[in-house]
């Protein structure tokens, strides 16, 4: 007897999916031993000022994958005597700076409550004094109210209201041994005739300042009331690399001028004269003057300055300042290669 029921077809085997080649794992960094945690690199900066004849040394390293930073700084003179040794532990919300010489700690802390409220505090352990501040954003981030109180509290807290066109500050000041008075400081800014006009009222003095600036010129007249002291500053840009500044005080007849020439961002020449101290000077910056040493060529900044007193040319002085930044975690000198993270010689992790 023949079975006429329908037969379920046997599925054909599907073709094997083509295998996708996986990229090889990235090679470990130079000087890295598999299975061992990578030790943090230490950044060392040394600076010498020939005017004070002091060396300033700073060392820092990041800990816990950048969550915290450990810093050490101290000064020493030409005889090797160390002064102002300090060690600091810094995080986003808490920082502790300890003075080894004074055996004192300065503690700073801050935290946010939402996006509109921030708390800050500073405490000097040895002096048992500090400040506590509350900063609140009022709807628009450009409007802020700040209340600052000393600890232990002495009088009313200082209140500052900031807005796009200035700020108003109220604080209590000690005028006599017993009497305390309320002081008000006001700063207002606004556009006026293609420039910015600023009025500052502080301690019964009113300072009016106007600043006009275009692509080639800046003009800044200033008057103080009730003293009626008038001064002005003038800046002229001759080219992107050349600029001349001049200021004059009509009340004292003192004036000073500065000429600046730049070559790129790593070479700057300045020369000037100050009539108040009767001194002419010239300086040369190698490396970005306002930047950090680690971003300058060879991680170093150098300044040379010549000062020539008008009344005694023989007492002219040549001063220089050197700031060197380097990464130093030199547990050995076997690889003699540049670290691929900091590009510095002898920064190996082996």
Which helix (DSSP H) or strand (DSSP E) does residue 277 occupy?
none
Give residues with Cβ within 8 angstroms of 196, minimum separation 6: 189, 190, 210, 211
Phi-psi region of 61 (alpha: psi -120 to 50; beta: other; left: phi over 0): beta
Q: What is the DSSP string of 193-219?
A: TTEEEEEEEETTEEEEEEEEE-SSEEE
Q: Which 8-state DSSP code applies to residue 338?
A: B
pTM for the complete prediction? 0.66
Beta-bridged to residue 283, according to DSSP, are 270, 305
Residue of 240, 278, 226, 284 lying closest to 256 (CA atoms): 278
Token pair of 320 as six digits? 């220089």
List helix spans (H) across the chain.
Answer: none
Token pair of 126 as six digits? 């040895």
Token pair of 114 as six digits? 């939402």
For residues 145 and 136, is the Cβ–Cβ distance under 8 A?
Answer: yes
Whether the link from the prior residue into 226 is cis, omega within 30° of 0, is yes
- pLDDT (0 to 100) of residue 349: 34
Q: Which 8-state DSSP code applies to residue 15?
A: P
Q: Is the pLDDT of residue 9 over 60?
A: no
Q: How far apart are CA 214 and CA 122, in angstroms?
A: 42
- pLDDT (0 to 100) of residue 244: 95
Q: How far apart are CA 254 and CA 247, in angstroms?
A: 8
- pLDDT (0 to 100) of residue 11: 53
Q: Is the pLDDT of residue 28 over 70?
A: no
93-142 pLDDT, tens digit each: 999 999 999 999 999 999 999 888 999 999 999 999 999 999 999 878 88
Residue of 141, 209, 195, 133 lying closest to 169 (CA atoms): 133
For residues 187 and 181, is the Cβ–Cβ distance under 8 A?
Answer: no
213-263 pLDDT, tens digit each: 988 899 999 999 998 999 999 999 999 899 999 999 998 889 999 999 998
Q: What is the mean pLDDT of the chain?
A: 80
- pLDDT (0 to 100) of residue 315: 82
Intra-chain end-to-end CA distance of the chain, in Å: 84
């Amino acid at each position: 007897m023949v079975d006429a029921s329908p037969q379920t077809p046997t599925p054909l085997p599907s073709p094997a999916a083509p295998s996708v080649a996986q990229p090889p794992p990235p090679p470990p960094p130079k000087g890295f031993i598999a299975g061992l945690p990578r030790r943090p690199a230490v950044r060392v900066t040394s600076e010498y000022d020939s005017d004070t004849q002091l060396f300033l040394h700073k060392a820092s390293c990041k800990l816990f994958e950048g969550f915290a930073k450990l810093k050490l700084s101290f000064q020493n003179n030409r005889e090797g005597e160390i002064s102002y040794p300090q060690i600091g532990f810094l995080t986003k919300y808490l920082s502790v700076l300890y003075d080894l010489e004074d055996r004192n700690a300065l503690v700073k802390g801050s935290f946010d409550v939402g996006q509109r409220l921030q708390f800050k505090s500073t405490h000097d352990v040895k002096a048992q004094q500090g400040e506590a501040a509350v900063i609140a954003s009022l709807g628009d981030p450009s409007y802020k109210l700040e209340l600052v109180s000393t600890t232990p509290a002495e009088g009313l807290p200082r209140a500052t209201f900031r807005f796009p066109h200035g700020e108003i500050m109220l604080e209590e000041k000690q005028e006599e041994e017993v009497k305390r008075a309320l002081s008000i400081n006001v700063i207002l800014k606004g556009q006026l005739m293609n420039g910015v006009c600023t009025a500052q009222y502080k301690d019964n003095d009113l300072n009016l300042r106007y600043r006009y600036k275009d692509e080639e010129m800046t003009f800044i007249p200033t008057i103080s009331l009730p003293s009626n002291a008038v001064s002005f500053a003038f800046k002229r840009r001759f080219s992107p690399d050349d600029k001349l500044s001049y200021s004059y005080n009509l009340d004292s007849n003192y004036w000073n001028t500065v000429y600046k020439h730049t070559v790129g961002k790593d070479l700057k020449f300045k020369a000037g004269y100050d009539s108040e101290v009767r001194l002419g000077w010239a300086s040369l910056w190698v490396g970005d003057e306002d930047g950090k040493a680690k971003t300058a060529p060879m991680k170093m900044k150098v300044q040379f300055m010549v000062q020539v007193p008008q009344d005694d040319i023989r007492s002219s002085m040549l001063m220089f300042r050197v700031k060197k930044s380097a990464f130093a975690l030199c547990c050995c000198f076997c690889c003699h290669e540049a670290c691929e993270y900091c590009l510095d010689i002898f920064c190996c992790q082996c």
